[in-house]
Chains A and B, each alone.
Chain A
């Protein structure tokens, strides 16, 4: 009887077991962690000291889970009743990337290297007029070359930066550029959800670029069906998006004609037929169960006809250009077991017909890129990426004048393989190392490029990164066409980068030191004397980039400041001595502001860019590239007014203070009778640019507008 009584008394006591303990991570208590006895409803939250205690009537074997934001879920088998537990959580490695600066790109670790702007930033930057490239020129590391329009990264030529759409190379990313009429980027910003711009030390996945890569990713899905109509002072545009459950299609067409604008604004050059361009882009996406299929296509046809002025020619000579460009890519990406895979192909075609005073040049380029890659996680902390790619380029050029017809061309085949591992050593340290192998038939060059980068995050807001890499690139088509005959080789660069990033509450500070060593640069006595081609040029670029972005300090104001200091010299092409190329300014700074005025329903943006003088050769003095142009100044303003949810009026003006900017000088080939070489200034095609546009979106929900297409 006593035994029975004892049993009954003991029973409820035994039924209520207390489970207690503490939860810590890296020696610090973790508050608000949910401690769960899996399968029962019993459990508790940790307090500020990481301590927990709860009662349960369960007995036997259970799995204890500890769930806390930012940490891997902890699991442990326990047998009830049990002693107090000491639980240590591990930081969730996948979240490490999320807190690294400039998230938004798929490339983990690349994020530390790449500067990512939102598409909205591109289009709302005053002075960019929706040109992705113009907006990127407000970031540190790139030069402002107003007469050219292309991206010049850290002392490199424009061709040293490659552009990729959805991982596939776009061989001809710019419209035509001729005689100091700047090129425009081909891409309309609103089709892209992520834009990553890397100014060095990038992943082994990307090759054939000595200086930088620009990665554009099309949107994975469209948000809604809509029609966009744009009426602009420079042309018209129409866009339509179709959306179904699993697929969507966006098409944009635009026609730009600068004739009315050029009548209104005084021009510095004489146009026989102003710039006209018809272009279109389309993106199609289809989601399958474990796969996404994307197709991107773009075409552009451009013509213009100008009278070229030259100090060496008494009469203006006429240049009439017709350019047609087509680009298409298709890619599949998905998941198979533990592997994320990607396969895609891209094809580009460009055709130029240029009527020069002296004759007619006809050239065409076909370029193909095929790529496959796969990546997976190993042991939770290591990500392995491996892939193969193939580039084929066919170039044909014909020159014809009254006396002769000359034909040149080549076909280049390049195979490459890359592999890379990213190892999250701990919450504070991550290491990425990779290697890229390539072989090309024209030059018979086989190269092996190691790349390594290291990230260290001593505290949540601070990160220090180091990157080293070796990069090879084939010379451009102008020279590659002589590769077979005259033994042209590829060019080489080596990057060393040290970066510090501070990121807190929508404020970002980024400072970066770099040193870039160039080797095997192509040299010659004249570009028309291929027998003098030799790869013994060298050079370097060293500098410091600073970027500060603040979206929080002042309500409704976003701004960023960037500053670049560069010291670079090269001996390449026909340089007689080592010198700083003409496209480099020693100091470049930009201030970009965007202010939202609620009462006016307007966003007002001001962009100020200043650059120190650029080198030019003054034949009246001894030396080469020894002169410096005056400093460059430009203040642009933009004003977007929301008439209602779906109608926007946009106004912008560049160079509002009418600074007289000079990009360089053209000197006479021969001195005048007084022994002095006369010169002509190379100046912008127009001192100012004005733009007025009306943008109207028609959609079901009546909410969306084209603010992000401006």
Chain B
């Protein structure tokens, strides 16, 4: 009896450890990222991604954090490597889960990053692709706030260049904020974007 009880405890705790391990690992990675250590976060996420063949979120965050880092760097060579790494991670996530709205949003963001890094070379090629992926994300989930906002922001930036009216697009940014508010964060599902949308709306006239 004692033995059985002991085994039960050991097994239960083993199960709970296994369940908690992913959350714990992800939590640790998110913590490192928040503490301003994106390299450590990405390295840990990459390890989790290798260990968890069915979880797409670690790959998603590898791609996301790497893409964000490229926006803040002007080192062309390092950025070229970042784009490869982010695309590989994004492709891996796609293999694990199939297409979904969040992956399309991220793909659009990654193409935007390539345009920002080298507008002369990449502008023509990637602009239509950015729009294509935002549209695909919206086709899957018309209420995805990141897709609504991302598309609007991309359109605002090019309309500004041509001195076009952006009021319609500002309406979309406003709509994205209500969608952000409705959104209920669950686990490690992507929930970023609200602050940035608010900031863009402030300058939207």
Contacts and interface: CB of A to CB of B under 8 A. Distances in A.
Contacts of B124: 120, 704, 707-708
- Classify the interface of chain A: helix, strand, loop or mixed: loop
A45 B128 contact: no
B20 to A, nearest CB: 12
Contacts of B161: 601
A596 to B, nearest CB: 8
Contacts of B44: 41, 43
A41 B29 CA distance: 11
Interface string A33-60: 0101111111111000000000000000
B51 A41 contact: yes
B43 A65 contact: no
A134 B94 CA distance: 44
B85 interface: yes
A34 B43 contact: yes
Nearest to A98: B80
A645 B162 contact: yes
Interface size band for A: 35 or more
B47 A34 contact: yes
Contacts of B76: 505-506
B132 interface: yes
A596 B129 CA distance: 24
A289 interface: no
Contact of B132 (A42, A118, A224, A601): A224
Nearest to B46: A34
A32 B39 contact: yes
Interface string A359-391: 000000000000000000000000000000000
A704 B132 CA distance: 12
Given A65-B50, A224-B132, A701-B128, A644 B162 contact: yes
Contact of A704 (B85, B121, B128): B128
Contacts of B158: 645, 703
Interface in A393-419: none
B46 A36 contact: yes
A257 B94 CA distance: 51
B129 A39 contact: no
B183 interface: no
A703 B25 contact: no
Contacts of A37: 47
A601 B160 CA distance: 12
Interface in A44-96: 44-45, 65, 67, 69-70
B48 interface: yes
B10 interface: no
Interface of A: 32, 34, 36-45, 65, 67, 69-70, 118, 120, 223-224, 505-506, 551, 558, 596, 601, 642, 644-645, 699-701, 703-704, 707-708
Interface of B: 21, 25, 39-40, 43-44, 46-48, 50-51, 76, 81, 84-85, 120-121, 124-125, 127-129, 131-132, 135, 158, 161-162, 164
Q: Lowest 3 A-B CB distances belong to which pairs?
A: A223-B128, A701-B131, A224-B128
23 contacts: A36-B46, A36-B47, A37-B47, A40-B51, A41-B48, A41-B51, A43-B44, A45-B40, A69-B85, A118-B121, A120-B124, A224-B128, A505-B76, A506-B76, A551-B120, A644-B162, A644-B164, A701-B127, A701-B128, A701-B131, A701-B135, A703-B131, A704-B124
